[in-house]
Amino acid sequence: MDTLPSTPPPAVEEPAYRVFLDSLDYLAPVDRERIKAAYAFAAKAHAAQKRMSGEPYITHPLAVAGAVVEWRMDADAICAALLHDVLEDTGASKRELADTFGKEVAELVDGLSKLDKMEFASYQEAQAENFRKMLMAMARDLRVVLIKLADRQHNLQTMSAMRADKRARIARETLEIYAPIALRLGLNKLYRELQDLCFRLIYPHRAEVLAKALKAARGNRSELLTRILDGIEGKLESAGLRAEVFGREKSLYSIFRKMKDKQLSFSQVLDIYGFRVVVDNVPTCYLALGALHSLYKPVPGKFKDYIAIPKANGYQSLHTTLIGPYGTPVEVQIRTREMHNVAQEGVAAHWLYKDSEESGADLQVKTHKWLQSLLEMQGSDSAEFFENVKIDLFPDEVYVFTPKGKIMAMPRGATVVDFAYAVHTDVGHHCSAARINHELAPLRSELKNGDLVEIITSPQASPNPVWLTYIKTGRARSKIRHFLRTMQNEESARLGERLLRQELLSLGVVPISIPSDAWEQLVKSGGQKSIEEVYTEIGLGKRLPSVVARRLLARENLSPEKPGNMTLAIHGTEGMAIQLAKCCQPIPGDPIIGSIKKGSGLVIHTHDCPAIRKSRSAEPQKWIDVEWEPEDGKLFDIRIKVEVKNTRGVLGQVAAAIAEAGSNIEYVSMDADPERLFTLLRFTIQVAHRNHLAAVMRGMRHIPEVTRIARERGGEA
């Protein structure tokens, strides 16, 4: 690292700067000199800039650094807070910062800088990519997000000069992303402050009305509040327990949310009195709980022990609800001083309170695990990653047990599949069933507090796209999508190879006769890395096999012979690369034709499918001849409609005839005519091929009550 620049005194030494310097007394003199140099560098870089309020721009980095100092963070973090906007808004470079203040400070500032140099299709895409960059930097160094949260807090406090719509947009983004991150990191005090600031910016009139009502209510409630407080303090004192007791104020935003979500009036929300009891150690927490339960009757089912089972963000307390004087509900939180520090400041308590090293370390481990899970999710595109992380930021947890007794925190609404992926990716990929509390349960079962969950795996099992409709965690969603994409690419590559081979053979060229350098040229010209990628693009419908084949032959000066009638043979069991159209549901024996659909691969229709008539005539180059290649054991869904006389037991007779013909019923619905003389039964049944379907229909025709049978076609393509 180069010598630090000399630190010229600011032209006008702001009182805020003097206060800031006085607050650095916990740092070594050499660190204080580095911070002064960082201030001088930032002041010079931002000298020509003003904030929208008209203040010098340096007031903003100084305020952010002041918040970081309150958390007692190290010199590198404070320097980064002072310099956090210099890469974005001035001509300074990352190399210059690294040479002057060290690589660590430069990395922190870079993690805090937006990606302004990149082009994005939309504001949402830019926001998602900036968010991804910040979280990746945060996964490497937690100080990045603490500085970012302090930056966002000061921006919200000083937004009066901004346009109302921009104020509201930034406030909504904060409520959606930054406030939940603060909560996830255990920064409860900052979380509440961010929420209240955003509430005042989005709903200024509502916030003003609520603030006045709250001020008036405080006066009206003071007598009862004092009585309950005196009662709690007296009881704890008589039990020989030393404790601090104080009332717990609800924030404006939490009052607003409760009124809105639970449809409560202001007085109903304020009717619940909250108190916090802070004691010396954990055994005293439980003694205090017993004393309070003997003072006021507890409400059954309203006790939570977050000391034995801490929340994912490290929060620990005993929660209980009591029936106080005049039947007033009284919510009490009991915790130690160390727990109180962590509850207020979360991961920042690691820097702030040196006496909480043990819980700080435990919280750091939990935070590190969460950040590592973010790194695992980042393979998806920015918008998808953004959505996955947002899901994980609103946990509202339930606690479940593994068969070995390990406690795992899952988001409320999480299913067996979410749990399987939380255990390990391979367990998720191969889960086939589960036991919840020793009883078999389907994979979509939602988990409840205290459930004992055992996953049953099978080597043949693999992720099902249907799982995406009911899973809750971002980790599970990311892993399943990655698996399905990989599988689709592999299957598409195999299909693309078959399509290109068929095209070459139809042009009278044997693929093996084409020299390897021709294939290499084809790959390079298309910008792919391998021939597998070319096959995948053909299989996904992104490139037409006829175009690829002609380019390959043109490069080799091979004149195609007269095209032959080559037909692609399929089984219908190829997986995601070949799809059977839902509109006509083709089965072996039906005359079929294939359409290469971009992103979906090869979609198979029957020749007479009404949904494809226009497309076949308008885009003939996208259609290829396909035929069935027999394969035993596979069953295909098919829709049939059966009109029957409306007599007792007729549905049972029809169902029995279908079963006797060796077919399964997947779905049935009924439509009766207005006179109720006839009923139209609609079935989805499983058959092996066209002849099997004919046998099923013959079996139903022998039933006297059956008046008409037809295969159902049409619907959406």
Which residues does the annotation mark as catalytic?
88-89
- Between the CA atoms of 309, 310, 312 and 314, what dihedral angle is there, to the nearest 10 degrees? -160
| Residue that the structure tokens 């808004």 belong to | 89
For residue 387, how many C-alpha atoms fall within 13 Å in the half-sphere facing its CB? 10
Tokens, residue 62: 């100084």
Q: Alpha-carbon distance 690 to 607, whole Å?
A: 14
Q: Find all residues with CB under 8 Å of 270, minimum gap 6, and list them.
A: 214, 217, 221, 250, 255
Closest CA to 109 of 170, 172, 64: 64
Give the Cβ contact number of residue 497 at 10 Å.
Answer: 19
Q: Alpha-carbon distance 514 to 506, whole Å?
A: 15
Q: Which long-range contacts (CB under 8 A, 24 or more apart) does 162-165 make?
A: 162/52
Q: How far from 680 is each of 167, 352, 389, 496, 658, CA to CA, in Å?
A: 59, 73, 48, 43, 16
Closest CA to 124 of 173, 195, 181, 166: 173
- Helix-helix angle 103-112:123-140, to 10 degrees: 150
Q: Which amino acid is at 454?
A: E
| Residue that the structure tokens 């939940």 belong to | 180
Closest CA to 673 of 697, 643, 652: 643
Contact 431, 455 (CB under 8 A): yes
The three-state (H, E, C) secondary structure of 206-235, written as one string:
HHHHHHHHHHHHHHHHHHHHHHHHHHHHHH
Q: Alpha-carbon distance 419 to 262, whole Å?
A: 30
Displacement of CA 281 from its chain's centroid (Å):
37
Q: How far from 215 is each of 209, 220, 266, CA to CA, in Å?
A: 10, 9, 12
Contact 46, 59 (CB under 8 A): no
Q: Alpha-carbon distance 461 to 406, whole Å?
A: 25
Tokens, residue 415: 């299913």
Q: Which amino acid is at 30?
A: V
User: In terms of DSSP H, where are the helices of 23-163?
Assistant: 29-45, 59-70, 75-82, 86-89, 94-101, 103-112, 123-140, 143-157
Strand partners, 593: 605, 625
